[in-house]
Chains A and B, each alone.
Chain A
Amino acid sequence: DVKVTQSSRYLVKRTGEKVFLECVQDMDHENMFWYRQDPGLGLRLIYFSYDVKMKEKGDIPEGYSVSREKKERFSLILESASTNQTSMYLCASSSVAGGLYNEQFFGPGTRLTVL
Chain B
Amino acid sequence: GESVGLHLPTLSVQEGDNSIINCAYSNSASDYFIWYKQESGKGPQFIIDIRSNMDKRQGQRVTVLLNKTVKHLSLQIAATQPGDSAVYFCAVLGGNSGYSTLTFGKGTMLLVSP
| Residue from A42, A45, A90, A108 in contact with B95 in the complex, judged by beta carbons closer than 8 Å | A45
> Chain A 74-115, CB within 8 Å of chain B: the 1/0 string?
000000000000000010100000001101111111000000
Chain B's nearest CB lies how many Å from the CB of A39? 9
Flag if A45 contacts B101 (CB, 8 Å): yes
Name the B residues within 8 Å of A44 (CB-CB). 104
| Residue from A41, A58, A109 in contact with B106 in the complex, judged by beta carbons closer than 8 Å | A41
Flag if B106 contacts A103 (CB, 8 Å): no
Q: Does A56 contact B (CB under 8 A)?
A: yes
| Residue from B32, B89, B99, B105 in contact with A101 in the complex, judged by beta carbons closer than 8 Å | B32
Could you tell me how many residues of chain A have their Cβ less than 8 Å away from some Cβ of chain B?
26
Instruction: List 25 interface pairs A-B (beta carbons < 8 Å), by A numbering.
Output: A4-B43, A33-B101, A35-B104, A40-B106, A42-B4, A42-B6, A42-B104, A42-B105, A43-B104, A45-B95, A48-B97, A50-B99, A56-B99, A58-B101, A59-B95, A90-B43, A90-B44, A100-B93, A101-B32, A103-B46, A104-B34, A106-B36, A106-B44, A108-B42, A108-B43
Q: Which residues of A contact B (CB under 8 A)?
A: 4, 33, 35, 40-45, 48, 50, 56-59, 90, 92, 100-101, 103-109
